[in-house]
Structure 1
Amino acid sequence: MTAQPSPTRVLVLNSGSSSVKYQLLDMSDGSRLATGLVERIGEDSSARLKHTPLGTGEGGGESREWNGPIADHETALKAVAEQLAKDGLGLDSPELAAIGHRVVHGGKSFTEPTVVDESVLAEIERLIPVAPLHNPANLTGIRTARALRPDLPQVAVFDTAFHTTMPESAARYAIDVRTADEHRVRRYGFHGTSHAYVSRATAKLLGKAPEDVNVIVLHLGNGASASAVRGGKCVDTSMGLTPLEGLVMGTRSGDMDPAVIFHLARVGGMSIDEIDTLLNKRSGLIGLCGDNDMREIRRRIDEGDEQAQLAFDIYIHRLKKYIGAYYAVLGRVDAVAFTAGVGENAAPVRAAAVAGLEELGLTVDDGLNAVRADEARLISPAGARVAVAVVPTDEELEIATQTYALVGQ
Structure 2
Amino acid sequence: MLSRALSRTSSKPKRNAQSPVSLFVVASESIAEPSSHFPTELLNIVAFMILPENHADTRASFRAIASFARVSKTFRQIAFRNFLRSLHLLDSACWNGIYKMVSMHQTRNPDSNAFTLLRTLATDTKSVIDKCTRLRFLRLQELTMFFYKEGLSTQHSTCLRLFSNLTASSSTLSTLTIDLVPRIDRSLLSLISKTFPCLKILSVSVTGRLTSAAQECECWCCFEDVLECSVHSPVPETYSDVSLLAEAFGTALTPLSQLTELRLGIFLSDEYIIYDHIAHQNEDEYIANSPSSCEICENTFGLDVRAREVFASRTISSKLSSLRRICWSTFFCRSEDGAMAGNAEQRQESSGTHFQSGRVEFELDGPEGTWQTRRWRTLP
Output the TM-score relative to the length of structure 1.
0.32
Q: Computing the radius of gyration over CA atoms, which structure comes out larger, 1 or 2?
A: 2
Output the TM-score relative to the length of structure 2.
0.33
Q: Which has the higher helix share?
A: 2
